[in-house]
Structure 1
Amino acid sequence: MTEALRADGLQYAYAVVRDTGALDAALEGVHGVAGEPVRAVVHLGLAVVAGPVPAGEFDEGPLKERLEKLEWLERIARAHARVVDAAGADSGVVPVRLATVCRGEEGLRRMVETGRERFTEALDRLDGRVEWGVKVYAAAPPPAEPAAAPTAAVSGRDYLRRRRAERQASAERWGRSEDGARQVHDALCALAEQARLHPPQDGRISGASDRNVLNAAYLLPREESPAFAERVEELARSSAGVRLELTGPWVPYSFVAPFSEDTAGAPGGGGGGPGADRRGRSGV
């Protein structure tokens, strides 16, 4: 038996669900961050979705080094999200912090014991809920033509006045976009049970050329998703000067405080959840 498959070897934790006895079917054919089959480890009425991973890649030292590599981290985040989505397809699920690794199945059980109250509260609170993501973009102003240097016909004072007016117009444009984003957010908050504001996404990461002025997540009952999506479409049509992007529905990552398994024998723990780029994008 290889080190990665030993019951007392490193176990990568993905999520916690209630033990309903039906999880094995949902996880059939699902593979994790190291290509390993995942399974449920049951304890105290809950089940940790986990899989064995090799120490050469996921022990504390190697893991810390790899977490600094964006390409590796993105691959791990996407695999992590696939497992969580499979585990939560038909039931409530609490995602575990990305790159939480326990020592053996005993470490997974200690994680359940340590966080049982918090896991149970989150499962109760999020039962039947889904997360929708909405981004609002403001198109960048067209590039200004290079201002001509002052001539006899255009004094230095006139030149400076014109440049000041251009800067003011640009600032007003961004201000209107941010006002529009706030109006969108207020309208969607009226439909959602909870909302979370994330930092605007850097265009170098998203690939979007427009400026991101709102990056938000909204929690609502699954059955209210059609009405929410329809409202986003209405806002997209009526909001001038901005572009809306809707993604979802997703497992409610943004509404669970990431559980860090620091007290249950984990050799390492990574950053936050899988993040927005794990999701496919569908523009509205």
Structure 2
Amino acid sequence: MTTGLRYVYAVCRPFGTPLQAELRGVGGAPPALLHHHGLVAVVSTVPEADFCEEALKAHLEDLDWLAATARAHQGVVDALTTVTTPLPLRLATVFRDDSAVRMMIEAREEDFRRLLDRLHGRVEWGVKVYLEPEPEPAEPEPAAAARPASGRDYLRQRRRQSHAQEEKWQRAERFAHCLHERLAERAEDFRMHPPQNSALSKAPGRNVLNAAYLVPRAHSEEFVELVDRTKDEEPGIRVELTGPWAAYSFSGEESGAEPSVESGEGR
């Protein structure tokens, strides 16, 4: 018989609106609510064979598994965001049973209550700024025209290209800095994340700004309008807005939106 562990998506305060009946979490299991000490852990059962410490180490190498687990995790947290203010836990936080989950709530109760008070009525917006890649030429230049006349000419050509790229990068950094200052004025808090590696994210261009902003839900429309007004300010620079999310970057966990697997097994 296959044994199961308790997977915890988030902690929140009790809420009256039921979750969607068709909502499914990791592995297709429906989420349930575990009430304890006036708090609620949103949980589901997952196979121990997939979520014990040894299995999780192997799954870290399986990007497809990680992506599917992250989508299911985020789907539950997103559903919670429509009915309450959730405090997302790390991807793949699992415990032996409900008793271990209750022990975790008791151990972190003070922090949970403090964070839930702070995040109540607030959402996270993500803003990324990219320096667009150079467009491919319509037709390649003839080899004779493209070939430098001498080694000195070749070095000059490379210096000009390098200087032009550096100027574009500096312009993008100035734009990102000014945009961040304007957005930070409209937000209650922010987190600056490391620029994303384009080879891993598959997003075109070089990531100049990767930030998260904590914004009162009531002020989100103004925040979004401010971002939208900047999108065409600078040619060759792309601004991307994502959200509204649960406040992953402000939850006290390492990350929920950009997964890092942690086993929190209570044994």
Shift of 1:64: 1.8
CA offsets 1:56-94 (integer angstroms, 9 cap, x no match): 111121122112211100100110011112223221110
Work out the CA distance in 2 between the residues paired with 1:14 and 1:252. Answer: 13
Match of 1:97 among 90, 95, 108: 90
What is the correspondence of 1:167-186 to structure 2 with a 5 Å cutoff?
167-186=162-181
CA deviations on 1:209-239 (whole Å, 9 max, x unpaired) are 2222111111110011111111111111323
Secondary structure of the corresponding residue to residue 48 of structure 1: strand
Matched, 1:273 2:266: no
Aligned 1:1-284 pairs, distance under 5 A? 3-4=2-3, 9-20=4-15, 22=16, 25-26=18-19, 28-142=21-135, 147-150=146-149, 155-258=150-253, 272-275=255-258
Q: C-alpha distance in 2, partners of 1:177/1:96?
A: 34
Secondary structure in 2 aligned to 1:53? strand
**Percent identity between the aligned chains?**
46
1:162 & 1:52 partners in 2: Cα distance?
62
TM-score relative to the length of structure 1: 0.83
Note if contact 1:80-1:274 (Cα within 8 Å) is conserved in structure 2.
no
Tell me, what secondary structure is at the counterpart of 2:89? Answer: strand
> What's the offset of the Cα at 1:53?
1.1
CA distance in 1, matches of 2:164, 2:234: 19
Q: Report SS of the residue matched to 1:99.
A: coil
Counterpart amino acid of residue 223 in structure 2: F
Letter in 1 for 2:99: E
Shift of 1:99: 0.5
Q: Output the TM-score relative to the length of structure 2.
A: 0.88
Gapped regions of structure 1 (runs ≥ 5): 259-270, 277-284
Q: What is the aligned-residue RMSD (CA, Å)?
A: 2.0
The residue matched to 2:93 in structure 1 has which SS? strand
| Cα offsets for 1:252-281 (capped at 9, x unmatched) | 1111111xxxxxxxxxxxx742329xxxxx
Give 3-state SS (helix, strand or coil) of 1:224's partner: helix
Instruction: Please list every run of 5 or more consecutive structure 2 residues that lacks an aligned counterpart in the other structure.
Output: 260-267
Q: 2-side partners of 1:241 and 1:141: how far apart?
A: 9
Name the count of aligned residue pairs: 253
2:174 and 2:162 map into 1 onto residues whose CA distance is: 18
| In 2, Cα distance between equivalents of 1:158 and 1:55 | 65
Measure how far apart 1:248 and its partner are: 1.1
**How many Å apart are 1:40 and its aligned residue?**
0.7
Identify the range of structure 1 (197-206 vs 106-115) with the bigger mean alpha-carbon deviation: 197-206
Looking at structure 2, the residues matched to 182 and 240 of structure 1 have their Cα atoms a distance apart, in angstroms, of 16
Deviates more, 1:44-53 or 1:132-141: 132-141
Larger mean Cα displacement after TM superposition, 122-131 or 237-246? 237-246
2:249–2:255 Cα contact (<8 Å) kept: no
Give the whole-Å Cα distance in 2 for the aligned partners of 1:166 and 1:67: 40
The one-letter code of the counterpart of 1:92 is T
The residue identity in structure 1 corresponding to 2:113 is T
Distance in 2 between residues matched to 1:141 and 1:104, nearest whole Å: 54
